[in-house]
Amino acid sequence: MTDLTRSNLLLASRWRRLAATFIDATLVPAVTIFLVMILDVAEQAEDFVDQWWAVHVVAIAVCSYLALNGYTLYQNSSASRPSFINQQQTAPMSFCAFPFGN
């Protein structure tokens, strides 16, 4: 029996996950566009000369996703972690950093 079945973890239904996906698909771009306009990432025509503005927009999109979902991802990830991850891991004395010996 796995740790997930012993912890009585109830997974969301398909429709609930689909609704959450639609909510994320609307909120994340809205927050990203709002932050792009506030931070003036692509304000002038010279901003489009190189491709760094796209990197900035993607970084802002990742940050907006984490801002919207980060707390719940952190809180719920600790409940679904197997119990062996929470234990202290120690390496044996004969541990070798190289895969084929020294």
Q: What is the mean pLDDT of each run of 10 residues along the chain (102 residues)?
A: 58 89 94 91 80 90 92 74 54 51 48
The whole-number pLDDT of residue 102 equals 47
The whole-number pLDDT of residue 52 equals 87
- State the Cα–Cα distance between residues 64 and 39, nearest whole angstrom: 13
The whole-number pLDDT of residue 10 equals 77
* Within-domain flag for 88: no
- State the Cα–Cα distance between residues 10 and 16, nearest whole angstrom: 13
Domain encompassing residue 26: 11-75
* Within-domain flag for 96: no
**Of the candidates 78, 96, 76, the residue with the CA atom closest to the CA atom of residue 86:** 78
* Within-domain flag for 47: yes
* Within-domain flag for 100: no
Burial of 97 (0-12, 13-18, 19+ CB in 10 A): exposed
* Within-domain flag for 84: no
- Please tell me the total count of domains within the chain: 1
* Within-domain flag for 61: yes
What radius of gyration, in Å, describes the C-alpha atoms of the chain? 22
* Within-domain flag for 43: yes
Question: Would you state the structure tokens that stand for residue 13, as one six-digit string?
Answer: 């239904």
pTM attached to this predicted model: 0.61
* Within-domain flag for 3: no
